[in-house]
Homo-oligomer: A and B are copies of this chain.
């Protein structure tokens, strides 16, 4: 299914949504237009790149398809023009960001399955693909990564990946497994956003050094 028109479309929605989130983060830090487009590329393509570097898989997707750099850079720049209307699009935007998370996760799982990896690495590969772009964005903005503090973002990725692997192992049709994993993950993310579900925090105030 990964090469079907639907999945390709979802992938482009995912990288564009990620690039646009990054552009808004760049604007909050008053970066210039070059910074905006670079942060867009890194955020949208960084998760897949880190996954491939860690798994020793070359060429990276954007090296094979350089147009991805242009698409994500352009999406980030376009965000500057439409930023004033973004708050009207807030819900659409969070929805597309959630779509991006589950699409990236499924792609990452699938890459690891193709390499014959064990279950834990398949799920980790999905999570790295889904979440590391946002971590790079936050580090480059000198924020503590939202992933480490926020509402069920990594958890959604793990759940999506676990359903995908479980379905894959039971021999269900591939397309069905993908659709179910993505819908459950998407639903969980939207419920977490709607009801403000969060992981408990760990607060520690002493220093060892």
Do B63 and A31 touch (CB < 8 A)? no
Least CB distance from A137 to B in Å reads: 11
Least CB distance from A62 to B in Å reads: 8
Least CB distance from A186 to B in Å reads: 18
Do A69 and B148 touch (CB < 8 A)? no
Interface residue total, chain A, C-beta cutoff 8 A: 69
Do B142 and A144 touch (CB < 8 A)? yes
Do A208 and B24 touch (CB < 8 A)? yes
Q: Which of A146-202 contact B (CB under 8 A)?
A: 146-150, 154-155, 198-202
Q: Copies per complex?
A: 3
Do A208 and B30 touch (CB < 8 A)? no
Do B32 and A199 touch (CB < 8 A)? yes
Do B199 and A33 touch (CB < 8 A)? yes
Do B86 and A27 touch (CB < 8 A)? no
Q: What residues of chain B lie closer than 8 Å to A201, measured between beta carbons?
A: 30-33
Closest chain B residue to A198 by CB distance? B32
Do A200 and B33 touch (CB < 8 A)? yes
Q: How far is the CA of A139 from the CA of B69 in the complex (A)?
A: 22
Do B94 and A208 touch (CB < 8 A)? yes
A interface, CB within 8 angstroms of B: 21, 23-24, 26-36, 38-39, 49, 53-56, 58-60, 63, 66-67, 69-70, 80, 83, 86-87, 90, 93-94, 117-121, 124, 135, 139-150, 154-155, 198-209
Ranked 10 nearest A-B pairs via Cβ: A27-B204, A35-B148, A56-B58, A32-B199, A66-B120, A31-B148, A27-B202, A34-B154, A80-B202, A33-B199
